[in-house]
Amino acid sequence: MNADLAIDVRDLVKSFAHKRVVNQVSLQVKRGEIFGFLGPNGSGKTTTIRMMCGLLTPDSGSGTCLGYDILHQSAHIKRHVGYMTQKFSYWEDLTLRENLDFVARMYTMDNRRHAVDEALEGLGLTERANQLVGALSGGWKQRLALAACMLHQPELLLLDEPTAGVDPAARRDFWEELHQLARKGISVLVSTHYMDEAERCHKLAYIFNGTLLAQGTSHEVVAAQKLTTWTIYGEHMAELSERLQRMDGVEQTVLFGTVLHVSGTRPELLERQVRAAVQGTSFRLEQSETGLEDVFIFMMKHAGRDGAPLA
Amino acid sequence: MMFFSKASFSRWWSMVVKEFLQLKRDRLTFGMIVGIPIIQLTLFGYAINSDPKHMPTGLIIEDHSEITRTIIATLKTSEYFDIVGEFADESSASRALARGDVQFVINIPPDFTKHLLRGERPALLIEADATDPTATAMALSSVNSVLEYVARKDLTGPLQHLAPAPAPFEARVHRLYNPEANTHFNIVPGLMGVILTMMMVLMTGLAITRERERGTMENLLAMPVKPLEVMAGKIVPYIAIGLVQASIILVAARIMFGIPFFGSIFLLYFAALIFVAANLMVGITISSLAKNQLQAMQMTFFFFLPNILLSGFMFPFRGMPQWAQVIGNVLPLTHFNRIVRGIFLKGIGFTDLWPQIWPMLLFSWS
Ligand SMILES: Nc1ncnc2c1ncn2[C@@H]1O[C@H](COP(=O)(O)OP(=O)(O)OP(=O)(O)O)[C@@H](O)[C@H]1O
Ligand SMILES: [Mg+2]
């Protein structure tokens, strides 16, 4: 066991109704690290997180969370971990204060009143403390949930899509806060579908169909796929994209509105092909860095085709 | 339930407080807690009567004499028959019976008096709409005593020999515990168990599946609260509610229906407590099986039906076939009904009730 690791799980496996939902997942999260957990819908992120905090028993595999065994010491884990569920899971027919107070009581906190007041202040919701939670907007519910799961000052936060449905400004504030917490030594594992959030994590893992396809810093994850990418600017590129896709050496095209990313693993061949394709058109061509999104799409396609994980 | 630590106790208490807060905000449930006992009591207590009186009766009189007039007059004064009219012939009377305009048709055939005077024991034909046997049974059994009364009173003097001789012995019936055979003396105390069954099973079933459906259970489980504390926190408010409902019914039984209460009130609450606990266990079981609130509701009704039908609440327990009695004896409501009726009407004590209490205890723990 490594004392530097907040999460250290090995070969987690979980099946529901004979379908493998999590397949041999191993994850290591260092203390004080913000770890991004990415993957398409239904890939097994929530299931993995639930196994890490002792809510779900894995079919096989083992591991520790804050040094406690995930199989036998879930009571200790619960005490020191803050888990924010993907679906809002506080009581809508209780007021904000009642909700926070209830959470504080569940953790049998000594300075309950003080902690609740502080949390409300931190949210800027002191005046609305006696409003029913059901009356809050989606984004505010999300922020309340975050405040509530941090109330007992956990050493590790497991956040399942905490910013889904939160406006950009609030999202920025939220990430500022996460980094502040990380500086204080709190570890965070956060699942997300936003690429800009993925870029802000110290480390990343990408899971697809229950299998972890990559793990490391975003640089490492991108570099591991050895992709070269060219960007084409212009309008109405759907036809161009289709043409490129049929060419040798072009392994992937991704269209983002007026920007087309063309990627491949053979740099010279790719360059020749894209140059030929834009020859005599008004499209502008530029070599660019391969982004996380290009890599995720690439990994997903390959895993789907080969049925086996890369890396 | 046993609690080992102060922390555990305080978490359990917080669950209880939270449950009450939510209950307070849930107007519908809150209304149900008070409203259902009152509504059910009113409906069952006032509406159900297995000894109906004043039923519409038609006559076909084909023989007019002193004696037939007396018979009719006596029938009129009995509480069971309200003479609504006379039919000219058999077929119009049959139609009225079929339509449900009348419940009975009393037919005095021609030459009834003549045959009577000759000592030929003529028949008086009574046709009854017996689709619902309970509705007609009591009325029909009263007819013979009416006739006997007429015979004794009118057949005097030279006709004395026609009057029926009294049987050389008689049966003397003491209707114990409910001398006037009031249906609601039976129904109203029985309602206490029925209402408690329905509310307790439903409410605990819903309380836990609601947490699951809304996703809050996941949150609870991620906190350091033990499942036992959650369960106990969910149960206690409903035990309190159950006892409040029992009190509402008790008071209503005394004030609205004037049901006598001979037994010990302490004993009644004691039995109610065990009974409520038994039903809460059913509710918890349901909630652990049901995936959502709708399923919990369906399962509750699945459990509720045999309770209503086989517990002796609606139909006499001893009238049921053996297999039904076996099922009935497993249900806590059966035993609770015997207890409640026993305490209300018979004033029986703990030792007599023990045979009914232990099955409920057993049910709670299994
Ligand atoms: N309790 C359960 N019973 C049966 N199947 C389940 C259960 N929980 C999850 N699954 C299945 O496991 C798979 C992975 O689900 P999971 O919720 O872990 O995905 P996810 O990565 O969190 O997806 P999303 O991004 O949509 O939240 C899905 O196919 C889902 O249907
Ligand atoms: Mg999820």
Same domain flag for B204 and B338: yes
Q: What is the pLDDT of residue B266?
A: 87
Q: Which of A78-92, A127-141, B9-23, B314-328 has the lowest mean pLDDT?
A: B314-328
Do B165 and B201 fall within a single domain? no
Q: Which ligand is closest to the CA of A39, given by its number?
A: 1
pLDDT over 50 (residue B2): no
CA-based nearest residue in chain B for residue A108: B7
- pLDDT tens across B282-331, in order? 888 888 888 888 999 999 989 988 888 888 888 888 888 889 888 888 88
Last residue of a domain, one of B155, B176, B197: B176
Residues B357 and B287 reside in one and the same domain: yes
A100 lines ligand 1 (CB under 6 A): no
Residues B196-228: tens digit of each pLDDT: 898 888 888 888 899 989 999 999 999 998 888
Query: Is the residue at B128 inside a domain?
Result: yes
Give the span between the Cα atoms of B140 and B145, in whole angstroms. 10
Q: Is residue B13 part of a domain?
A: no
Closest ligand 1 atom, CA of A86?
Answer: 27
Same domain, B97 and B231: no
User: Quick check: A307 pLDDT over 60?
Assistant: no
Helix then strand then coil, in percent of chain A rounded to 5, is 40, 30, 35
Which of A229, A227, A203 minimizes the C-alpha distance to A216?
A: A203
B79 lies in the same domain as B151: yes
Q: Is B7 on the interface with A (CB under 8 A)?
A: yes
Residue burial B266-275, b: 16+ Cβ < 10 Å; e: rest: ebbeebbebb
Tell me which of A175 and B3 has the higher pLDDT.
A175
Kindly state whether residue B93 falls inside one of the protein's structural domains.
yes
Searching chain B, which residue's CA lies closest to the CA of residue A100? Answer: B18
Instruction: Give the per-residue pLDDT at A223.
Output: 87
Residue ending a domain, among B176, B210, B235, is: B176
Checking if the pLDDT of A2 tops 50, the result is yes
Domain ranges, residue B278: 183-365
Q: Which of A88, A102, A108 sits opposite B18 (nearest CB)?
A: A102
CATH class entry, domain A5-221 = alpha beta
Whole-angstrom Cα distance, residue B118 to residue B115? Answer: 5
CA of B269 to the centre of ligand 1 (A): 48
Residue B1 is assigned to a structural domain of this protein: no
* CA distance linking residue A190 with residue A201, whole number of Å: 9
197-236 in chain B: CB under 8 A from chain A: 214-216, 218-225
A93–B25: do the CB atoms touch at under 8 Å? yes
Q: Which fold has domain A226-289?
A: Alpha-Beta Plaits (3.30.70)
Does the C-beta of A45 come closer than 6 Å to ligand 1? yes
Residue B149 has pLDDT above 70, yes or no: yes
Kindly give the distance from the C-alpha atom of residue A55 to the centroid of ligand 2, in angstroms, as a whole number.
Answer: 14
Q: Is residue B257 part of a domain?
A: yes
DSSP state of B167: P
Q: What is the pLDDT of residues B251-272, one digit of tens each?
A: 888 888 888 888 888 888 888 9
Q: How far is CA A297 from CA A198, A202, A309, B197, in A?
A: 14, 21, 13, 57
Q: How, if at all, do strands B81-86 and B55-61 pair?
A: parallel
Of B220, B221, B224, the CB nearest to A79: B224
- The domain spanning residue B159 has which CATH number? 3.40.1710.10
Q: Which two structure tokens, joined as six digits, stand for B31?
A: 């209304």
Find tokens 């399942």 and name the residue: A160
Interface of A with B in 173-192 (CB under 8 A): none
Residue B156 lies in a domain: yes
Candidates B14, B216, B221; nearest CB to A55: B221
* Same-domain pairing of B167 and B308: no
Q: Is B223's CB within 8 Å of A90's CB? A: no
Q: Cα A76 to chain center, whole Å?
A: 25
The whole-angstrom separation of Cα B111 and Cα B64 is: 9
Together in a domain, B205 and B157:
no
